[in-house]
């Protein structure tokens, strides 16, 4: 799942894909590099300038239509607002990435109405665009499982296709670095629920704090290490800024696990 931010203030690229041309170029590049899903976001996840629903729609809706006209790819929109979900659904979106854990309960109903997929993310009940402060859990993974499975089951009850629902442990969202590390090593408990697991690891703060790397631009190696572990433990979808590097990482893990043959096997044959 390639990340394409339609924001002027994203934490990693600082607005590199805010303009239509840059964003369309980024989508084309991501598809060429092996992305099966493109995730379009119109609001920075962290604190920042206020972005109302009308502005979020302006940033995303027509762009979704443009991508739909150009590419045979699954189009995801990262939003927590039902009114945004309804508009992008009409423009051709396939998946609503509810990164704020059901904050707007009507978003799942929109996904059901339009037959879209839904990502159910754990945030511990955090308000959108807020940072965690002294968050505590008796058992963070038990809370992840309870909340995400509950949202997934509610979505299906509303009419979202069962095979189009994913759960996301929500690294960094409503969590300390220790919580995110624990959620990573206990991914098998999420896999055991039977819902496909999406992880959004790319250049996040838990990677930076773990390795004492402040700049997101320097967190690729840590991200790929977390990606490798998550893949080995059974996660299925990877939201990433670096598509080619992530694709190679996942292919290598799949080959070691015996799920993918080598692209070439000439060594020792000549």
Q: Give a three-class secondary structure readout of 21-71.
A: HHHHHHHHHHHHCCCCEEEEECCCCCCCCCCCHHHHHHHHHHHHHHHHHHC
Q: Which residues are catalytic?
A: 204, 239
The answer for residues whose C-beta is within 8 angstroms of residue 242's C-beta and 6 or more apart is: 202, 220, 223, 224
Q: What share of the chain is helix, strand, coil (3-state, %, to 5)?
A: 45, 15, 40
Looking at residue 155, its pLDDT comes to 98
Q: Is the dihedral of CA 143, 148, 154, 157 positive or negative?
A: negative
Q: What predicted TM-score, i.e. pTM, was given to this entire model?
A: 0.96
Looking at residue 270, its pLDDT comes to 79
Q: How far apart are CA 80 and CA 52, in angstroms?
A: 12
Looking at residue 187, its pLDDT comes to 98
**Segment 165-191, tens digit of pLDDT:** 999 999 999 999 999 999 999 999 999
Looking at residue 48, its pLDDT comes to 94
Q: Is 2-256 in CATH node 3.20.20.20?
A: yes
Which segments in the chain show pLDDT lower than 50? none
- Residue identified by tokens 């069962």 is 162
The domain ranges of the chain are: 2-256
**Segment 15-32, tens digit of pLDDT:** 999 999 999 999 999 999
């Amino acid at each position: 799942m390639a990340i394409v931010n339609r924001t002027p203030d994203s934490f990693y690229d600082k607005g590199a894909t805010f303009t239509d041309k840059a964003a369309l170029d980024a989508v084309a590049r991501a598809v060429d590099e092996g992305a099966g899903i493109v995730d379009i976001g119109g609001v920075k996840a962290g604190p920042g300038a206020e972005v109302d629903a009308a502005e979020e729609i302006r940033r995303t809706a027509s762009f979704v239509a443009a991508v739909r006209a150009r590419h045979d790819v699954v189009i995801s929109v990262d939003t927590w607002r039902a009114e945004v979900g309804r508009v992008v659904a009409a423009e051709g979106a396939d998946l609503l990435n509810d990164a704020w854990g059901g904050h707007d309960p009507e978003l799942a109903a929109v996904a059901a109405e339009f037959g879209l997929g839904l990502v159910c993310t754990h945030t511990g009940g955090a308000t959108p665009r807020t940072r965690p402060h002294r968050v505590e859990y008796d058992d963070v993974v038990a809370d992840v499982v309870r909340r995400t499975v509950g949202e997934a089951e509610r979505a299906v009850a509303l009419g979202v296709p069962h095979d189009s629902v994913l759960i996301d442990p929500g690294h960094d969202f409503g969590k300390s670095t220790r919580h995110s590390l624990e959620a990573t090593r206990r991914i098998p408990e999420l896999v055991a629920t039977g819902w496909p697991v999406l992880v959004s690891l790319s250049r996040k703060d838990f990677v930076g704090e773990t390795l004492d790397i402040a700049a997101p631009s320097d967190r690729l190696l840590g991200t790929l290490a977390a990606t490798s572990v998550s893949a080995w433990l059974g996660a299925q979808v990877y939201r990433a800024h670096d598509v080619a590097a992530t694709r190679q990482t996942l292919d290598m893990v799949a080959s070691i696990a015996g799920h993918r043959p080598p692209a070439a096997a000439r060594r020792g044959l000549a």
